[in-house]
A and B are shown apart, each in its own frame.
Chain A
Amino acid sequence: MNQPVTKSSAMLTTDSRLNGRRLASGRKNGFFHELIRNRILFLMLLPTLIFFFINSYIPMVGIYYAFTQFDFNTSLFDAKFVGLQNFQFLWQSGTLTKLTLNTVGYNAAFILFGNVLAIALAILLNELRGRYFKKIAQSVMFLPYFVSFVILSVIVYNIFNYDNGFLNTLLLQIGGERVDVYNQPWVWIFLIILFYLWKNLGYSMVIYLAAITGISDEYYEAAKMDGANIFQRIWYITVPMLKSTFVVLLLFALGSIMKGQFDLFYQLIGNNGVLYNTTDILDTYVYRSLKVTFDVGMASAAGVYQSLFGFILIMTVNYIIRKLNDEYALF
């Protein structure tokens, strides 16, 4: 927490130096002076500040719920304080370890496969000659991003349901046996990753394609002169030039590695307990504890754990990146 503050105050210093001319006359450059001087700007920002205060900052106080025996009828600080009991239950049941592994594992897979494939597709698409073909292909691949997760669950149901799903129909036709996919926990590891890619590849591809379009033609011309073939041009020019886009996307993705893709998991798995071992993530667990099993204490504890773990993770990654290359750090 210290680092971002230091950095932003460093920025402030340069700012006030830039505004030095204007401020020099006043001498009073405290908060209230600024408040009066830029009152319209403050007023314009106020709704946003209030919004985040209500929607994000007030709930932070509610972290206290995780340390109490929850009772909907009493107010927050009247609830019975139980210390770390909720966390202890979570830990002892082995739930926390499983949830953490699943959450981090899936999101790491999403980030890795998502970016590598998006870069590959963007490079291939960029090489296509037909202008219309290129446009149509891009639109088609972007399409799944626009459909809701509820529709995605309909698609998955259509393909995999036991009685008349597309897969089983096909298997019967070629003389095979029906498969009960909804009873095979391990299959869902691949299915979830697959459908994540199906839905998101087109979107990330567009971002990388934009970055490729931004690379100056001169590099390619020069490489051609030197006799580099297309594979060499891609490997030595395109790929390195995409590095900064990749790092930015990576950092944004890392920021949500503890709370990624709730919709995807919940819509595909729902309340199918058979699959929890391989598919339950922190978000789905918390949601279920709140809405289905009414285990509010556990849900709060898991939520706090998620926030803290995620926060520490981001801070660590950001610290490492700042050590390696200051330019790429988030803050």
Chain B
Amino acid sequence: MAIKEDVYTRIFQILSYAVIIIASIACLLPFLLIISASLTSNESIIRDGYHFIPQEFSLEGYRTVFTFPEEVLRAYGVTIFTTVVGTTLGLFLMTMAGYVLARKDFKYRNAFSFYIYFTTLFGGGLVPWYIMLTKYLGLLDTYTVLIFPGLMTPFLIILMKNFIRSSMPEELFESAKIDGAGDFKIYYRIVLPLSTPGIATVGLFLALAYWNDWFSSSLFINDPHKYQLQYYLYNVINSMQFIAQMGAGTGVSLSNDMPTESTKMAMAIVVTGPILLLYPFIQRYFVKGLTIGAVKG
């Protein structure tokens, strides 16, 4: 530790702290804005505009959201259902595919890898895909269409394949074979238990994609009862339908024909809530998995 070096290091560290603190604050402030707005009375927002700190504290936004919670809860239900089913099924299929493609004695693995990879290079585009799913497979307004297209992505399959290949030696499979284990048994008894970090990462990517999906609803769902949470929120923000629908079912007419500003923000918080609560816990796995995947690069 020479003295000369210390000066530079000190300067650099002060710089680092300053930049990182500023960047962190910039990442948090937008959240603070919606949280604050969701806790402000609507009159105050109309009068004083949005602030970082509520000018007039009120829970009316949340009260409105939870006065008729059926719609919100239903949208939650749809999202939870698609997330759980999609993630489970997708994980099962992708770990299996990753395992097969990682097996060095599987002769056509490169050809099949390319078959999967090629879909990222070239495609038919949105229109033929849309027409096929709606017209030929008849998936309009079904839960299947919310789950099916997102089940697998080439990127995640390749990630899984690389993970298995780099963490399990070929000899492991061979000795299991000698002991009389079949290919599926090797996958089930050896590969899966050893794949926890890979499964966690791929699973989180999948779950996040399902949880944040609004696109599938917007393309394929006409029945509001089947809207995913994010698309439901999108409609609350963007359309006047919302209060009309909420009011219509109950016979109560709410003052305006538009959701109030505070209701919109409260809704945004309600939708984001679970992720913000789970985040500190989830994030650790994500970083770990990415670290394993990225260093390989």
Q: Are A169 and B93 in contact (CB under 8 A)?
A: no
Q: Which of B50, B126, B184, B265 contacts A303 (CB 8 A)?
A: B126
User: Number of residues in B with C-beta < 8 Å to the partner?
Assistant: 110
Q: Are A8 and B123 in contact (CB under 8 A)?
A: no
- For residue A271, give the distance in angstroms from its CB to the closest CB of chain B: 9
A131-153: which have CB < 8 Å to B? 136-144, 146-151, 153
- A44-B96, A45-B101, A128-B17 known; A158+B34 contact, CB < 8 A: yes
- Among the 9-residue stretches B56-64, B66-74, B250-258, B287-295, the one with 4 or more Cβ atoms under 8 Å from chain A is B287-295
- For residue B4, give the distance in angstroms from its CB to the closest CB of chain A: 7
Any chain B CB within 8 A of the CB of A155? yes
Any chain B CB within 8 A of the CB of A65? yes
Q: Which of A38, A55, A252 contacts B107 (CB 8 A)?
A: A38
**Contact pattern, A 22-59, Cβ under 8 Å of B = 1, otherwise 0:** 10000001010010001011001101110110111111
Q: Are B183 and A40 in contact (CB under 8 A)?
A: yes
- Among the 9-residue stretches A98-106, A108-116, A181-189, A225-233, the one with 4 or more Cβ atoms under 8 Å from chain B is A225-233
Chain A: which residue is nearest B148 at the CB level?
Answer: A55
- For residue B249, give the distance in angstroms from its CB to the closest CB of chain A: 23
Q: Are B126 and A213 in contact (CB under 8 A)?
A: no
Write out the residue numbers on chain A whose beta carbons fall within 8 Å of the beta carbon of B275: 146-147
Any chain A CB within 8 A of the CB of B182? yes
- A127-B12, A140-B28, A311-B122 known; A62+B50 contact, CB < 8 A: no
In the bound complex, CA of A245 to CA of B295 (Å)? 8
Q: Are B24 and A248 in contact (CB under 8 A)?
A: no
Q: Are B125 and A59 in contact (CB under 8 A)?
A: yes
A239-261: which have CB < 8 Å to B? 244-245, 248, 252, 255-256
Q: Are A158 and B51 in contact (CB under 8 A)?
A: no
- A206-B287, A311-B121 known; A300+B183 contact, CB < 8 A: no
Interface-central residue, B4, B108, B212, B230, by most chain A CB under 10 Å: B108
Write out the residue numbers on chain A whose beta carbons fall within 8 Å of the beta carbon of B49: 163-166, 168-169, 172
- A4-B114, A150-B233 known; A164+B261 contact, CB < 8 A: yes
Q: Which of A9, A159, A165, A291 contacts B218 (CB 8 A)?
A: A291
Any chain A CB within 8 A of the CB of B138? no
Write out the residue numbers on chain B whose beta carbons fall within 8 Å of the beta carbon of A269: none
Q: Which of A8, A140, A149, A303 contacts B24 (CB 8 A)?
A: A140
- A8-B110, A48-B96 known; A137+B20 contact, CB < 8 A: yes
Write out the residue numbers on chain A whose beta carbons fall within 8 Å of the beta carbon of B15: 124
- A245-B294, A296-B127 known; A12+B187 contact, CB < 8 A: no
Write out the residue numbers on chain A whose beta carbons fall within 8 Å of the beta carbon of B282: 146
Q: Are A34 and B107 in contact (CB under 8 A)?
A: yes
Chain A: which residue is nearest B116 at the CB level?
Answer: A52
In the bound complex, CA of A302 to CA of B45 (Å)? 42
Any chain B CB within 8 A of the CB of A16? yes
In the bound complex, CA of A245 to CA of B294 (Å)? 7
Q: Are B291 and A213 in contact (CB under 8 A)?
A: yes
Write out the residue numbers on chain B whose beta carbons fall within 8 Å of the beta carbon of A8: 110-111, 113-114
B15-60: which have CB < 8 Å to A? 15-17, 19-21, 23-24, 26-28, 30-31, 33-34, 37, 45-46, 48-52
- Among the 9-residue stretches B80-88, B128-136, B192-200, B240-248, the one with 4 or more Cβ atoms under 8 Å from chain A is B128-136
Q: Is the interface of B mostly helix, strand, loop or mixed?
A: helix
Chain B: which residue is nearest A207 at the CB level?
Answer: B294
Q: Are A49 and B115 in contact (CB under 8 A)?
A: yes
- For residue A133, give the distance in angstroms from its CB to the closest CB of chain B: 8
- A56-B119, A60-B123 known; A207+B290 contact, CB < 8 A: yes
Any chain B CB within 8 A of the CB of A211? yes
Write out the residue numbers on chain A whose beta carbons fall within 8 Å of the beta carbon of B223: none
- For residue A194, give the distance in angstroms from its CB to the closest CB of chain B: 10
Write out the residue numbers on chain B whose beta carbons fall within 8 Å of the beta carbon of A244: 297
Any chain B CB within 8 A of the CB of A224? yes
In the bound complex, CA of A290 to CA of B130 (Å)? 9
Any chain B CB within 8 A of the CB of A19? yes
**Contact pattern, A 159-203, Cβ under 8 Å of B = 1, otherwise 0:** 100011110110010000000000000000000000000100110
Q: Are A44 and B125 in contact (CB under 8 A)?
A: no
Write out the residue numbers on chain B whose beta carbons fall within 8 Å of the beta carbon of A331: 114, 117
**Contact pattern, A 271-286, Cβ under 8 Å of B = 1, otherwise 0:** 0000000000001001
Any chain B CB within 8 A of the CB of A84? no
Q: Which of A12, A31, A144, A229 contacts B27 (CB 8 A)?
A: A144
Inter-chain pairs besides A151-B268, A227-B2, 18 sampled, C-beta below 8 Å: A12-B107, A31-B108, A38-B107, A40-B183, A45-B112, A124-B20, A127-B12, A148-B272, A149-B212, A198-B26, A210-B290, A230-B12, A231-B8, A263-B214, A263-B215, A286-B125, A290-B126, A310-B121
Q: Would you mind naming 11 contact pairs between A and B with Cβ atoms under 8 Å apart? A: A5-B114, A55-B149, A58-B132, A63-B124, A137-B21, A148-B214, A211-B295, A263-B214, A290-B126, A299-B125, A310-B121
Give residues in B with beta carbon < 8 Å to A: 2, 4-5, 8-9, 12-13, 15-17, 19-21, 23-24, 26-28, 30-31, 33-34, 37, 45-46, 48-52, 93-94, 96-97, 99-101, 103-117, 119-132, 135, 137, 148-149, 151-152, 154-155, 157, 182-184, 187, 208, 211-212, 214-215, 218-219, 230-231, 233-234, 237-238, 261, 264-265, 268, 271-272, 275, 279-280, 282-283, 286-287, 290-291, 294-295, 297
Ranked 4 nearest A-B pairs via Cβ? A62-B128, A303-B125, A169-B49, A59-B124
